Amino acid sequence: MYEIRKSHCSICLRKCGIDATVEDGILIKVEGSQGDGPSGGNLCVKAFASKEYVYREDRIQTPLKRVGPRGEGKFIPISWEAAYTEIADNLLKIKGDEGADTVAFYTGYSKWYRPYLHRLVHSFGTLNYGSESSSCFQSFRMAHLINAGTLSEPDIGNTELFMGWGYNPFHNGNCTNVKIEEWQEKGIHIMVIDPRVTPAASYADVHLRPRVGTDGALANFFAHYLIENKKTDEVYIANYVHGYEEYKAYVSQFTLTATAKITGISPEDLLEAAKYVGRHHKIASQLSVAAIPHHINGMQSCRAILALSAITGNFDREGGNIPSVHPDYDTETYSKPRLLFEEFINETRPVDSKPKIGSERFPLWSELIEEFQAMDLTRNIEEGTPYPIKALVAFGLNSRMFPENSKLLEAIKKLDFYVDVDLFYTEAAKYADIVLPVCTSFERSELQMVGPCVRYTEPVIASLFESKSDIDIICDLANYLNLDDPVLRKGEEYCAKYILHDVGITLNNLKLSPVPLKIPGKKPYVPGTLLARGLKTPTHRYELYSEIIKKYEQDYHLNPLPVYYEALDPAKAKKYPLILTSGGRIPQEFHSRFQKMKWTKLLRPYPALDINPKDAKQLKIKQDEDIELTTSIGTIKIKANLTYMVPENNVFMYQDYEDADVNNIIKNDHLDAYSGFPGYRTVRCKVQKIKKTAKPVEKSSKIG
């Protein structure tokens, strides 16, 4: 007998509601759950592959202990008690001998347990908590915090013009995006800025294709045009904006001719686009949290784009960009009651810890983000400065999200102790001393925010093998480490009750409800509230000239204005004539989680490099031919995929192929000086066809 149970997909961070069909304790199929979650009952190809995902053959089944050299992947199964005991003994010894700060904690995907791990790190006695957000989202968030003190989101329903920078929802979050056709039916105009011809771009009224990495210059040109043609909101600027005169003087250099040369967009198209923007009063912008920041000028490009909402009077205004809260990163809302994630994380925050990893190299990041900058982890382990890292505890570590990641794996060999916690047996797991198996979202409970609502999902099937929930592992470690943290040591449900304390909903209420429950008294944000109260910036205004960055101007050569600078080294253009963009999403992949999925692998069975047919013709490359992609530090062999979606002189490649790791041929110091983010989207490269060697002619063995 089968039954349908409520769950959600946790493969990416969208948390789409799922109706899971279960028979005799086995997951049979999944369907979208109507009215549950942001997807409206829809699922993407990845979620529809959930059954294969749950029952993947490379699931880690039991705690493992290394018995061979690091990297060989030789392990023996051990009990949970033995694993916990060994972890606790090693971490406590290192803490006692070297100090708590010499132990680093890192988390990749998923994100649902992060507040619990962050609290564990604090209770252990260090600030060295890091995450994959060192190369995803946080640079985008930094730009918002520097400019306005808060995140914002486009008020698309009330806008006149929607500007999507690197906007490609059909390949990223395709179940949760509002349908572009519906916007157009409402009379909303759409501009997409993207070098590629994406599905979203095909719907745009205006599609601009700037040279990769020049978005900041384009934004500054728009600002210059709007200022010169008196299309700005002078009253708004006088009341709410700081540094306008300095900003105005700076963007004046982004003339039509100069910007056309930088961006590669014709002067005619640039002028028409600027006029188009200037004809609208209500303008809402949305930036990709990866495509724009993943350049060595990325954070400042984000600031330049966001600045347009200030000079047009559209920040914290209906139809513009409205202050918002990201549940994983910003826990203080402007509409209470709220979940107590911030209090939960910081209740045990240590007061006498050393500066986080990366603080000396990326001080702006360190001031704004309550995580260490993981892009500095490899260097820190290798050099042992400013203090040594002796141990690493990692949940869901995907080494391929690091540039030149082979160096990270080599650095891990130098650690005294390394713990890897994951669903699957990954490359990073091969280097661990102890490996712990976790379960999927179908096998565990989870407390989560869903817009103004909250829900608590429970397991729909039993945990497979000996796997456990990430939070159960975190709470167990708190006990084995004998931490002074009675909340964490009481387990997941006690922690959930702590976090729910102020919202007027009990954990039992949530368990009984098949759908998310709206938080009582939770009111929608009223545009203008934050402007009237004063922004959370040093001047309480929207800062075009950042007083935070100013502190690092002299010693670190960081500019308080949203300046544009080149993301590519022109001196390397002759040897490496093409521009490589690593990391663009494709619908059936999410990081490296689907590399061993037979069903989704059918959609693209091999690693491929997208290349414009004109470039391919010049290089005498045909569709599906074997090619080599080479940067200054290495070469990978892949297939060619010819497509006019990609502009000439550019190549694009998905970044998480295990048999063609493009990020490993990107230098680990190719980083944004402001945020520490890797410049994955702008790398000099060359491509060539692999010459096939002739097979030797076999001698005939023919008889008589």
Which sequence spans correspond to the domains of the chain?
Answer: 2-54, 64-137+345-441+462-489, 152-293+300-318, 573-689
CA angle (139 as vertex; 137, 142 as ends), nearest 5: 110
The yes-or-no verdict on residue 206 having pLDDT over 50 is yes
Q: What per-residue confidence (pLDDT) applies to 191?
A: 97
Structure-token pair, residue 268: 């005619």
Report the C-alpha gap between 310 and 305 in whole angstroms.
10
b/e burial code for range 368-392 (CB count within 10 A of at least 16 → b): bbbbbbbbbbbbbbeeeeeebbbbb
17-23 and 26-32 strand pairing: antiparallel
Structure-token pair, residue 650: 């550019």
By CB atoms closer than 10 A (0-12, 13-18, 19+), residue 335 is middle
Please give the distance of CA 505 from its chain centroid, rounded to a whole number. Answer: 31
Read off the pLDDT of residues 352-390 as tens digits, 9 standing for 90 and up: 999 999 999 999 999 999 999 999 999 999 999 999 999
* The dihedral sign for the CA sequence 235, 241, 242, 243: negative
CATH superfamily of 2-54: ADC-like domains (2.20.25.90)
Contact 681, 291 (CB under 8 A): yes
| Stated length of the chain | 704
Residue 74 CB neighbours (<10 A): 13
20-24's contacts with Cβ under 8 Å and 24+ in sequence apart are: 20/50, 20/442, 20/460, 20/461, 22/460, 22/461
The yes-or-no verdict on residue 331 having pLDDT over 50 is no
Report the C-alpha gap between 233 and 188 in whole angstroms.
21
Read off the pLDDT of residues 159-202 as tens digits, 9 standing for 90 and up: 999 999 998 887 766 555 557 888 888 999 999 999 999 988 99
CA distances from 297 to 139, 378, 680 (A): 11, 22, 11
Report the C-alpha gap between 255 and 220 in whole angstroms.
9
Q: What per-residue confidence (pLDDT) applies to 329?
A: 44
Confidence of residue 696 (pLDDT cuts 50, 70, 90): low
Confidence of residue 681 (pLDDT cuts 50, 70, 90): very high
What is the domain class of 64-137+345-441+462-489 according to CATH?
alpha beta
The widest CA-to-CA distance across the chain, in whole angstroms, is 101
Contact 142, 675 (CB under 8 A): yes
More confident residue, 441 or 15: 441
The yes-or-no verdict on residue 335 having pLDDT over 70 is no
Q: What per-residue confidence (pLDDT) applies to 556?
A: 97
CA distances from 119 to 123, 233, 370 (A): 6, 44, 12
Read off the pLDDT of residues 112-121 as tens digits, 9 standing for 90 and up: 999 999 999 9
Residue 30, φ and ψ in degrees, nearest 5: -130, 150
Kindly indicate whether the domain formed by 573-689 is annotated with CATH number 2.40.40.20.
yes
Selection from 103, 77, 83 nearest residue 91 by Cα: 103
The yes-or-no verdict on residue 639 having pLDDT over 50 is yes
The architecture (CATH level 2) of 152-293+300-318 comes to 3-Layer(aba) Sandwich (3.40)
Report percent pLDDT > 90 for the chain.
79
The yes-or-no verdict on residue 638 having pLDDT over 70 is yes
**Least confident piece of the model among 216-220, 429-433, 584-588:** 584-588
Q: CB within 8 A of 659, min separation 6: which ones? A: 607
Q: What is the DSSP letter of 568?
A: S
Whole-model pTM: value is 0.94
Read off the pLDDT of residues 300-322 as tens digits, 9 standing for 90 and up: 999 999 999 999 999 999 999 99
Residue 134, φ and ψ in degrees, nearest 5: -65, -15
Report percent pLDDT > 70 for the chain.
95
Report the C-alpha gap between 118 and 255 in whole angstroms.
47
Q: What per-residue confidence (pLDDT) applies to 174?
A: 59
Q: What is the DSSP letter of 211?
A: P
Kind and range of the H or E run holding 240? helix 234-240
**Least confident piece of the model among 288-292, 450-454, 664-668:** 450-454
Strand order of the β-sheet with 75-77 is 75-77, 64-66, 434-437, 417-422, 391-395, 103-107, 129-131
Mean pLDDT for the stretch of residues 26-50: 82
Q: What per-residue confidence (pLDDT) applies to 178?
A: 58
Please give the distance of CA 688 from its chain centroid, rounded to a whole number. Answer: 31
Residue type, 322: I
- DSSP assignment of 375-410, as one string? GGHHHHHHH--SS---EEEEES--GGGSTTHHHHHH
Mean pLDDT for the stretch of residues 228-244: 98
Mean pLDDT for the stretch of residues 50-75: 94
Selection from 376, 378, 372 nearest residue 408 by Cα: 378
Read off the pLDDT of residues 646-658 as tens digits, 9 standing for 90 and up: 999 999 998 888 8
Please identify which residue in the block is written with the tokens 């909250």. Answer: 454
Residue type, 560: P
Contact 1, 432 (CB under 8 A): no
Q: What per-residue confidence (pLDDT) applies to 699?
A: 43
Contact 362, 74 (CB under 8 A): no
Q: 3-state class of 9 per DSSP?
A: coil
Contact 38, 169 (CB under 8 A): no
The yes-or-no verdict on residue 336 having pLDDT over 90 is no
> Residue 577, CB half-sphere, CA atoms under 13 Å: how many?
8
Please give the distance of CA 6 from its chain centroid, rounded to a whole number. Answer: 27
Report the C-alpha gap between 136 and 159 in whole angstroms.
28
Read off the pLDDT of residues 520-534 as tens digits, 9 standing for 90 and up: 988 888 999 999 999
453-457 and 517-518 strand pairing: antiparallel
Selection from 661, 664, 583, 120 nearest residue 395 by Cα: 120
Mean pLDDT of the chain: 92
